[in-house]
Amino acid sequence: MHTAHAMPDWFPVVSCRLIAQSPTTSRVLPLKPYQAPQPVAEFLFCRSSLRGPGGVMQTSTLLAPRDLLLAVPFQSGLPLHQDWDWLIRVTSHQGVGLFMLPQPLTLWRVEDTRSTVGRDPSWQRSLSWIRSIRPLVSPRVFSWFVAVQCAWRVQCSHAGPRARLTLLRAFLFEGNPGLRSFLSFLIFAFVPMRLRQSLRKGIHGDRTQKDAGPGLRLVSSRRPVVPVLRKSSF
């Protein structure tokens, strides 16, 4: 709360880093905290390396004013990507500021057997969603999203060559791909998920125990016209 009150924005949104806990490893994510004025979509989806997990801003880490949530609510009926959708839409408004605390204050369990919305293998739904917010994301972000979020789903759903070709067309002609995002597309679309997970565990599993902050121990492991929100109360 102190961080939110100290922010100069009418509508402060505060997040934090988290500890991603799997059955065998745990690590602090994102590797680097979000920093304004970077577009939040670029932070979430554009990766600096083939090994990096990209940006993470999980719903349970978000603190926002009630007025803001009433003015820009989560989309009703959206089958997946609700948190990303809200973050991208809300930060497109003037008066909204986003800050991420560097401390990991949330535990996020990953790679267990629970069914979650984020694991929905429908690549069509993911592609439809990123197209629906296309005015709010750059061509580069669009290609990165297709390369990672859509590509792993098309493989997980065991879709045929036609589905991969559909994604490749969207990746190439609706966005602005680069070499790194193209390699990511190939990896996520064609390398089996079990093999990718094994390689990732091999990369992160031999790390020694690290400090995750006070009281915590980490065991290894084309911008549109901006709408204006007006504050109704303090």
Within 101-192, residue ranges assigned H as helices are 123-132, 139-145, 151-156, 161-173, 179-190
Element spanning 196, H or E: helix 193-204
Q: 228 - beta bridge partners?
A: 94
Mean pLDDT for 56-79 is 93
Decide which of 224 and 12 is more confident. Answer: 12
CA distances from 203 to 34, 177, 183 (A): 24, 26, 18
pLDDT above 70 for 209: no
| Res 50: pLDDT | 74
Residue 90: half-sphere exposure toward Cβ, Cα within 13 Å: 29
pLDDT above 70 for 191: yes
Write down the domain spans for the chain: 8-110+205-226, 120-191
| Res 54: pLDDT | 82
Tell me the one-letter amino acid at 66. R
Query: Which three-class secondary structure state does DSSP give residue 118?
Result: helix
Residues 18 and 28 sit within 8 Å (Cβ to Cβ): yes
Mean pLDDT for 84-97 is 96
Burial class of 97 by CB neighbour count within 10 A (0 to 12, 13 to 18, 19+): middle
CA distances from 154 to 34, 35, 54, 142, 191 (A): 29, 32, 19, 16, 11
How does pLDDT run across 113-144, given as a tens digit for each residue?
444 444 567 899 999 999 999 999 999 999 99
As a whole number of angstroms, the distance between CA 84 and CA 54 comes to 13
| Res 24: pLDDT | 80
| Res 201: pLDDT | 56
As a whole number of angstroms, the distance between CA 157 and CA 121 comes to 6
How does pLDDT run across 35-52, given as a tens digit for each residue?
999 999 999 999 988 777
| Res 100: pLDDT | 96
| Res 224: pLDDT | 45
Confidence of residue 159 (pLDDT cuts 50, 70, 90): confident
Q: Is the pTM of this model over 0.85?
A: no
| Res 225: pLDDT | 46
| Res 120: pLDDT | 63
Confidence of residue 202 (pLDDT cuts 50, 70, 90): low
As a whole number of angstroms, the distance between CA 179 and CA 221 comes to 28
